[in-house]
Amino acid sequence: MNNYLIYILVMAGVTYLIRMLPLTLVKGKIKSQFIQSFIYYIPYAVLSAMTIPAIFYSTPELLPSVLGLTAAVVTAFFTRSLLGVAMCACAATLIGELIMLLF
């Protein structure tokens, strides 16, 4: 019980400081092109590493999550809609699960 509270305080505290410090303290721009580039690549690297391979184990069988991943990549490639990508991914996963029922 107490552990949950400490975990959440650590999570929320670190996350808030990251957002708050630059907005309140940093006046000028980061000059180092290396650090700028490093920070630029972080979101893409982190989200990719979090998605693969973890997504393949979010459904009991492989096929539904592969279909969900494929649908999400294709939808994201052609649209820029958060809701659209999420719904297509869910629908494709569900179709995959229904197909698995046939076997």
Partner 1 sequence: MKPKSNSFKSGFIDGIPIGLGYLSVSFSFGIQAHAMGIPILWTLLISMTNLTSAGQASGIGIIAAGGSFIEMALTQLIINSRYFLMSLSLSQKLEGGFTLPHRLAASFGITDEVFALASSKNHKLAPKYMYGLLCAPYIGWSLGTFLGAAAGNLLPDMISDALGIALYGMFIEIVVPPMKKNLRLLAVVSLAIAVSCALYYIPIFDFISSGFSIIISTVIASLFGALLFPVQTEDPDDE
Residue among 2, 43, 102, 103 that touches partner 1 (CB under 8 A): 43
Residue among 2, 63, 81, 103 that touches partner 1 (CB under 8 A): 81
Output DSSP code: residue 55. G
Name the nearest CA neighbour of 62 among 28, 103, 24, 2. Answer: 103
Distance CA 62, CA 51 (A): 14
- Asked if 103 touches partner 1 (CB under 8 A), the answer is no
Under 8 Å CB-to-CB from 42, ≥6 apart: which residues? none
- Asked if 62 touches partner 1 (CB under 8 A), the answer is no
For residues 6 to 35, the per-residue mask of contacts with partner 1, x marking binding by CB under 8 A and - elsewhere, is: xxx-xxx-xxx-xxxxxxx-xx-xx--xxx
Question: Which amino acid would we find at residue 91?
Answer: A
Q: How far is the CB of 28 from partner 1 (least distance, A)?
A: 9
| Local structure of 65: helix, strand or coil | helix
Q: How far is the CB of 47 from partner 1 (least distance, A)?
A: 4
Q: How far is the CB of 31 from partner 1 (least distance, A)?
A: 9
